[in-house]
Structure 1
Amino acid sequence: MPVDFSAFAAHCRTRVDNALDRHFPIGEDPTQLRAAMRYSLFNGGKRVRPILAYASALAIDPDINLDVIDPVSCALECLHSYSLVHDDLPAMDDDDLRRGKPTCHIAFSEANAILAGDGLQTLAFELLTKTDLPAHTQIRLIRSLTAGSGAEGMVLGQAIDLAAVDHQLDLTQLETMHRHKTGALIRASVAMGAISAGADDSQIAALDSYAAAIGLAFQVQDDILDVTADTATLGKQQGADIARNKPTYVSLLGLETARAKAEELHRQAQDALASFGESAVYLRQLASYIVHRSN
């Protein structure tokens, strides 16, 4: 495997892109459903969640054949892509841009975007049954993805987010929202890579502490970028959260304190990996990338 993180991340993106193309080819479709689903899957995403799954698996077993992780990474990207399609809808965040391109409902209509999101969500769970892992491991993976994405995870976070518009949240409430909306699927990504590689309970617990820290750090950095980066760099409308009067870490803490918060979470993530050796190098590098990224 590459030592340099940029090379590792590029390797993972290529793996998951190729696997997604195999598992969900263009195919024959008299409607726009498959086209809308593929548009949302292949629109330039950073593939952070698949990279986390690969890196977590390698932290447990440096010699693992990553072919085993490919369907897991594809499932995570399908689930994440569905969430973005639905988040962008007029009834939700009402965004016109995603990764510098028209959002799915702009490109394909609102109805097609809803159906594309539905299709991507169900495809995610189907893919978890296409691994070469034992049935009991597949069930654990499905449970992890369900917990991270459903009414106790990501979906709950989005519901809290929508309810918070034009309302003042305190820091604890804001963290609760983001630990669900963003953090829950990130924690699932790390757990699913580890489960696939045969991690024991103590390893999963340590990795979950790591994932909880970077999941929150990801959102803190998003809030920082929303006020410091321009629209072209972000790939979405700059200042969108401010325009919607949404609570953010920057609005609650101020820019410099938000940056300090991100760095503290970065330290927590690194500390959580103390029991791991060189096998966790990619997880350590990924934590640094999340906190210091520019888009």
Structure 2
Amino acid sequence: MVESLTSLRKRVNDYLAANLPADIDQPTLADAMLYSTLADAMLYSTMAGGKRLRPTLTLATVEVLGGQLNADVMRAATALELLHTYSLIHDDLPAMDDDDLRRGKPTNHCRFGAGMATLAGDGLLTLAFQWVSDNQLPAPVKVDLTRELAMAAGPAGMVAGQARDIENTGRHLSLNQLRYLHRQKTGALIHYAVLAGGIITNQPTAVRQLLAKFGDYYGLAFQIYDDLMDVLGTTAQMGKEVGKDAEEHKNTYPGLLGVPAAEDQLHQALAGARQTQADLAQLTGRAFAAYDDFLAYFKL
């Protein structure tokens, strides 16, 4: 039986709270003068809340495909939340989006300064790869996870998308160009999150391809929804400032298409995700109803 999204989210939060401090160099009482704020800065953003969609997508996929959520799977899956949190810290920096609010709290650099926030992000990024490899999963699984995560996060994935976002601020992109940008910036980690469940459970290529396809549709829907909520939502709802995309001339779906057409794009992406969900069920003979909880996130 697949656990509820609420239960999976609690698993992630509990694992992070119990294990993250152990991998950060903490001061001893004898060396109190050597204390730094690195641990506080890393924990501040990681434990600030959040939907935990990425690691819970991995965990739900593992369970749907018959895997067990043991300590090794939890370590590999929650590594993605470390990496995601690093990306948020760096994205909020003054040299990037210069945001003051994240998850309803002051952003990391507002709380600890830009230098320490940068180091907190660096620490979370590198620790993510430690967790992916520092477990007892089979060696081929760890190799595949490490490679796929590096590609999703690096200069062919999320980092490339962020660079495109910076370069094209104030420029008018076509719909295809906008999709490509966000497939890297936002979609790459969600693509990985779903695929990772197939890697951990040693699925054949055809299943992995469909899992990645579901992740692609879900990632597209996630970005369109985020763009729409920047127009339609409130700061209280989003936990961050809204309306900044238009002020800063960012390329967004509502900005390019208008709100009604952007909503239509969202519905198309969700339809693609649901069709892929059905294709996965047919191919594997397993019920993928657990994905319904994730698809229910999109409410306008």
Measure, in 2, the Cα distance between the counterparts of 1:267 and 1:288.
Answer: 13
* Offset of residue 278 of structure 1: 4.8
Contact 2:280 2:288 in 1 (8 A): no
1:50 pairs with 2:50 = no
Larger RCO, structures 1/2 (Cα 8 Å, 6+ apart): 1
Equivalent AA in structure 2 for residue 249 of structure 1 = Y
Measure, in 2, the Cα distance between the counterparts of 1:58 and 1:287.
Answer: 17
Q: Which residue of 1 aligns with 2:209?
A: 205
Equivalent AA in structure 2 for residue 287 of structure 1 = L
Contact 2:221 2:266 in 1 (8 A): yes
1:109-148 map, 5 Å: 109-148=113-152
Q: Where has structure 1 moved over 3 Å in runs of 4 or more?
A: 65-68
Kindly provide the CA deviation profile for residues 117-143 of structure 1, in whole angstroms up to 9, marking residues without a partner as x.
000000000001222211121111100
Deviates more, 1:110-119 or 1:70-79: 70-79
Measure, in 2, the Cα distance between the counterparts of 1:275 and 1:2.
Answer: 16
Measure, in 2, the Cα distance between the counterparts of 1:161 and 1:152.
Answer: 14
Measure, in 2, the Cα distance between the counterparts of 1:93 and 1:270.
Answer: 33
Percent identity over paired residues: 39
Measure, in 1, the Cα distance between the counterparts of 2:13 and 2:64.
Answer: 22
The structure 1 residue matched to 2:238, chosen from 234, 252, 256, is 234
Contact 2:2 2:63 in 1 (8 A): no
* Offset of residue 144 of structure 1: 1.0
Contact 1:58 1:279 in 2 (8 A): no
Contact 2:93 2:109 in 1 (8 A): yes
1:279 pairs with 2:287 = yes
Contact 2:62 2:69 in 1 (8 A): no
Kindly provide the CA deviation profile for residues 50-102 of structure 1, in whole angstroms up to 9, marking residues without a partner as x.
111011112222x5234342112211000000000000000000000001100
Equivalent AA in structure 2 for residue 18 of structure 1 = D
Contact 1:54 1:66 in 2 (8 A): no
Equivalent AA in structure 2 for residue 95 of structure 1 = D
Measure, in 2, the Cα distance between the counterparts of 1:79 and 1:65.
Answer: 20
Contact 2:157 2:188 in 1 (8 A): yes
Q: Which residue of 1 aligns with 2:176?
A: 172
Q: Which residue of 2 aligns with 1:243?
A: 247
Q: Which residue of 2 aligns with 1:25?
A: 21
* Offset of residue 107 of structure 1: 0.4
SS in 1 for 2:289: helix
Q: What is the TM-score normalised by the length of structure 2?
A: 0.92
Contact 1:179 1:212 in 2 (8 A): yes
Equivalent AA in structure 1 for residue 9 of structure 2 = R
Q: Which residue of 2 aligns with 1:15?
A: 11
Kindly provide the CA deviation profile for residues 195-222 of structure 1, in whole angstroms up to 9, marking residues without a partner as x.
1112111110111111111111100000
> Aligned-pair RMSD on alpha carbons?
1.5
1:69 pairs with 2:65 = no
* Offset of residue 23 of structure 1: 2.1
